[in-house]
Structure 1
């Protein structure tokens, strides 16, 4: 703290003296500021602890229920007929599938016209898909192929049709394609012809989609809407899509062609091993982060010790499976003298193959499973009013108290500085007066001596 006062009258360096006095008086403030910085570091570090625990909580939650161990591989003996995938709700099994027919979308090409700007007639064009109808009223201002295409694609009442223009050797055609496959999505077109008395002939607006015999420039059915038809173990299945999701629970069939294929759904132990190893890695990462923080600003912090001990306590417990005691080492997970967990992949693989249900129970048993206990413990730490929340409140309260003390100390120093300035200003004036008097007396004595 530097002040702007100096002993002008006497030449004394009052600034230096006052600053030294202020530095001595500021020692309590420096102590408070250091303490505030320490609390800020603790708040930040406990934020890191909370984040690490939250990450571990998310990882371990997956293994608290059977769905966390539901991983399957799916294969097809002939992917030219179908491919297959399975989600966590599938069950290990196999099925014989015969695909008779693939689902298809409806596609209709209009009659050919000179070009896309040619007028096609006037009247009303009605397009229906699956019971939903769109009516386009056409007159001389909006009746070219381009106009109709744009009107169909932008209409809010579009029933599920896309319109494009194809320019081919015989002219320009408007192509209508149903957005979805399946028989129910067949396109039905009706015309109210404003150009003549017939709504179905090859003249006026009705010519637009008048089906010819082929090669005559009239409309043609390019593709016909149809359902997929297949059997699974001899049972008939039909569907509007070539992606079959509802036939077998948890299994999706993607049909690619007619023929037969056998699909196999098997438990994916490799994926399950990876999930269990991921749980172990997450635990080790968490404990390592806690140890690092404990060696820093949270050294000897009782709350952090309690948190860590809670995790160790879970590891030291056993699991009750219908009265039978089970241990973590049964699935190849052990802890070394430093508290680090490791997984013996060979032992874990054997345990999954020999008794899959016991492995899942050791981790996910509803009350005593290791994953269940870890999840419940981390939830208690993270909940409102939990240990971490209480610690944050305590540190924040301490910081508020110190900030109040800092404000008081700063105010005290401002007052103390002002007092020092007044006192030393008065002293400076007094010393100046004494100096002046001394100089006067010295001068008078010198005059007396010279007269004698």
Structure 2
């Protein structure tokens, strides 16, 4: 709106008068802004509640299945020799583990400065444990048509051939030597070479080795004994030696002490179960702390928090406590309530986990403890799903708040147009008054001059 210079004719501070009048007319907008900010604060608070409730949903979701409490841990007594992991498919037990040999790749070292010229080099991988070369299943000989003349060029050609063999050059005191290594470990990765024309000097048969190459490391499988039963693997990880258990071999036991072995123990993962219970307790406590912070009232300062008296929050708190004090039908008779497992409600509404009591329950009666934890986990997961879901209490509340805030934006626009119209009318009225007073002052001055002449 253009600003006029009201008040020139009257000498009054018309701009200030109009500003104050407009301020009075704008009070409904000021009150609306204050109310809207309160709703925005509530919307922000519900955003924090949604985040905390989602964390509770996640934590409860890790307790709602029997599989969550059927985890196992695998422990190797001497980790110098091996390490192990276990899944829910494992079975508890103790086993003697002896590492007989580690898996390794085949490695060949050529003579120094071998003659290199254009020719063909065929590379094959296979197993010679039967006394003859048996090609590796799923592979075919790879023929390299070489047109170079240096050992470096041959190295590059081998590395580009994708033959399952890598090549490098060692610059020894006696000259350059080609080192060939199978890309993966295991007995079926023994290298056989057939050279022709300018590469005939690179022919190597592992059954009847020639002087062209020296075997620096034989291709071999890993071997270990579990309770006296021999198990093998092309790698140093025994992934299928025991159901649900993966063993990684690291070091060979002394071959001169046949009885030497370490212990592999498989047991229930009580630590993991306790961690999941602790995560649930923490998520409950975080939500409880947030509820208290958002709804508290300070009588001394007569100051209420953002959601003081909010019935949606009090309703959610009531639902959570209702589940906590319930006894789900699938809970065990041995531990019908969470408190029987060591999870208790404190006077401030928080939960406390007695890890000793919880661990004792898991150790003494895992089946019944699992039944109760999964029953409550499922109940809290269902409640949390309802709270944070698209039709849940939190979403419904935030939708309502957003709608209210939006309607206030519309109402503000209407009120602002009314105030602008009133301000425009005031300016027109005061401008007209100012002009009229100016004319009257001019007439007064004229009459005064005329009267003074008569005298």
Class of the TM-score when normalised by the shorter of the 2 chains: 0.7 to 0.9
| SS of residue paired to 1:262 | strand
Residue of structure 2 equivalent to 1:201: none
Task: Classify the secondary structure of the residue corresponding to 1:126.
Answer: strand
Pairing partner for 1:122 from 118, 139, 143? 118
Once the two structures are superposed, residues 396-440 of structure 1 have per-residue CA deviations (whole angstroms, 9 ceiling, x without a partner) of: 111111111111222222222222222211111111001111111
Q: Is the 8 A contact 1:82 1:257 kept in 2?
A: no
Cα pair distance change 1:79/1:350, threshold 3 Å: closer
The equivalent residue for 1:198 is none
**Per-residue deviation, 1:143:** 3.9
Distance 2:321 2:59 in 1: 18
Looking at structure 2, the residues matched to 124 and 144 of structure 1 have their Cα atoms a distance apart, in angstroms, of 14
Change (3 A) 1:80 1:394: closer
**Residue 186 of structure 2 corresponds to which residue in structure 1?**
182
How far, CA to CA, are the matches of 2:27 and 2:140 in structure 1?
84
Alignment of 1:15-164 (within 5 A): 15-113=15-113, 120-129=116-125, 130=136, 131-139=139-147, 142-153=148-159, 155=160, 158-164=162-168
Check whether the contact 1:38–1:297 (CA below 8 A) recurs between aligned residues.
yes
- Correspondence for 1:362 among 358, 367, 372: 372
Partners of 1:416 and 1:374 in 2: CA distance = 57
Residues 111 and 208 in structure 1, CA contact (< 8 A), matched pair in contact too: no
Q: How do residues 335-346 of structure 1 correspond to structure 2 at under 5 angstroms? A: 335-346=345-356
* SS in structure 1 at match of 2:95: strand
Structure 2 equivalent of residue 257 of structure 1: 252
Do the aligned residues in 1 keep the contact of 2:88 with 2:244 (CA within 8 Å)? yes
- Match for residue 448 of structure 2 among 418, 442, 451: 442
Answer yes or no: is the 8 Å Cα contact 1:269–1:349 preserved in 2.
yes
Tell me how far 1:49 sits from its aligned partner.
Answer: 0.6
State the partner residue of 2:131. none
Deviation of 1:243 (Å): 0.8
Q: Is the 8 A contact 1:230 1:236 kept in 2?
A: yes
TM-score w.r.t. length of structure 2: 0.86
Instruction: Give the superposition deviation at 1:79.
Output: 4.1
TM-score (norm 1): 0.86
Distance 1:146 1:343, change over 3 A: same
Structure-1 separation of matches of 2:4 and 2:168 = 84
1:376 aligns with 2:376: no
SS of 2:199 mapped into structure 1: helix
Cα deviation digits, residues 97-153 of structure 1 (max 9, x gap)? 343332211112233218xxxx711112232344144433211xx442222333443
User: Cα deviation per residue 1:359-418 (whole Å; 9 max; x = unaligned)?
Assistant: 111110xxxx21111111101112222222222211111111111111122222222222
Conservation of the 8 A alpha-carbon contact between 1:228 and 1:242:
yes
Q: 1:159 offset after TM fit, Å? A: 3.4
Q: State the Cα distance separating 1:80 from its structure 2 match.
A: 4.7
**Post-superposition shift, 1:306?**
1.5
Is residue 417 from structure 1 mapped to residue 423 from structure 2 by the alignment?
yes
Counterpart-to-counterpart distance in 1, 2:326 and 2:445 = 93
Q: Deviations over 1:238-286 (max 9, x none)?
A: 2101111111122221222145333111224344333323321221111
2:405 counterpart of 1:405? no
Q: For residue 428 of structure 2, give the secondary structure of its aligned residue in structure 1.
A: helix
Task: Identify unmatched segments of 5+ residues in structure 1.
Answer: 196-203
Deviates more, 1:274-283 or 1:301-310: 274-283
1:7-35, Cα deviation, whole Å (9 max, x unpaired): 22332211001101110111111122222
Matches within 5 A, 1:193-272: 193=196, 195=197, 204-210=198-204, 218-255=212-249, 256-258=251-253, 260-272=261-273
Distance in 1 between residues matched to 2:306 and 2:388, nearest whole Å = 21
DSSP 3-state at the match of 2:225: strand
For residues 343 and 91 of structure 1, the distance between their equivalents in structure 2, rounded to whole angstroms, comes to 28
What's the counterpart of residue 280 of structure 2?
279
Secondary structure of the corresponding residue to residue 360 of structure 2: helix
1:292/1:275 Cα in 2 relative to 1: closer, same or farther (>3 Å)? same
Q: Measure how far apart 1:217 and its partner are.
A: 7.5
Q: Cα 1:180–1:347, aligned 2, differ >3 Å: closer, same or farther? A: same
Instruction: Note if contact 1:362-1:370 (Cα within 8 Å) is conserved in structure 2.
Output: yes
RMSD: 2.7
CA deviation profile, 1:325-361 (whole Å, cap 9, x unmatched): 7112211222133222212233223222222222111
* 1:149–1:164 contact (8 Å) kept in structure 2: yes
- Between the aligned partners of 1:312 and 1:189, the Cα distance in structure 2 is 75
